[in-house]
Chains A and B, each alone.
Chain A
Amino acid sequence: MELPGPNPGLDAHLKTGSLVVMNREPTTTVSPGTTAAMTEADTLRWAQQLAAEVDAVMAEHPEADPENVRHTLILLRESPWTRLERSLRRGRATPVLAR
């Protein structure tokens, strides 16, 4: 089974109405810090959609930390390479996790 990069499973939820998912087309993807031309409306829409996704996960898993859920949902929008590169870059700047 292949684990996808960008998250088609979330798109499926969009179709079923259980989750609201942002548009991930390259020209319209909005993610703070990654799109220079992000408008205020984009920012608001992105935050609302992400919040709805977090709420949906928390409804099924109330024991989860919503911050971890939010960060995971954000990372699932990125490619595996990007996730790994960001993690490695931050890991090397985080002494507490030094091997």
Chain B
Amino acid sequence: MDERPLFSPAERRVLESLLRHEVNFMVVGLSGAVLHGAPVVTQDIDLWFENLGEPKMMQALVAVGAGYAPPFGYNPPMLAGEGTEMLDLVTHMSGLGSYAAEVQHARLVSLGDYQVKVLALDRILVSKVAANRPKDQLVIPVLRDTLATLAATKLS
């Protein structure tokens, strides 16, 4: 298996710029669950921003040559530019409250020199149960077992 780092320098720069500019966002979804230790796979990093398109966010993206494309037609809001390919924007989470309410449940995870907010695993599980799509049903038992493991090891 190819064990080279998956993140390109450009992708790291985008994440680090968002953190350096103190943009309010948190990692959610399965990528968040992975950061908590869940043995699941995912294809993208889901980011939930408090205020999509806010000046700090725009400055952070411009600083690394990226941009924000607001929603239009059937297109959801998206990030554009080098290093944004694996980043998906989330505007709401099934079964959860507002960003302001849910960020209270966030944990800080160290990523390199920075700390990123990650939605609490039990809240990620709630969102997966609420969404209940086939791909959610596959991971719900795994997330429950991860929570049990963290609880037993006093890490939850």
Contacts and interface: CB of A to CB of B under 8 A. Distances in A.
A3 B109 contact: yes
Interface centre among B2, B41, B135, B154 (most CB of A within 10 A): B41
Interface in A32-70: 53, 56-57, 60-61, 63-65, 68-69
B128 to A, nearest CB: 13
Interface in B104-132: 107-112, 115, 118
Contacts of B145: 61, 64-65, 68-69, 72
A72 B38 contact: yes
- The majority secondary structure among interface residues of chain A is helix
Contact of A91 (B42, B142, B150): B42
A69 B37 CA distance: 10
A73 to B, nearest CB: 6
A96 B138 contact: yes
Q: Is the interface of B mostly helix, strand, loop or mixed?
A: mixed
B97 to A, nearest CB: 19
B100 interface: no
B41 A2 contact: no
Interface in B134-153: 135, 138, 141-142, 144-146, 148-153
Contacts of A53: 153
Contacts of A81: 7, 111-112
A61 B107 contact: no
A7 B153 contact: yes
Interface string A75-92: 110011101110111111
B149 A90 contact: no
A39 B79 CA distance: 47
A83 to B, nearest CB: 5
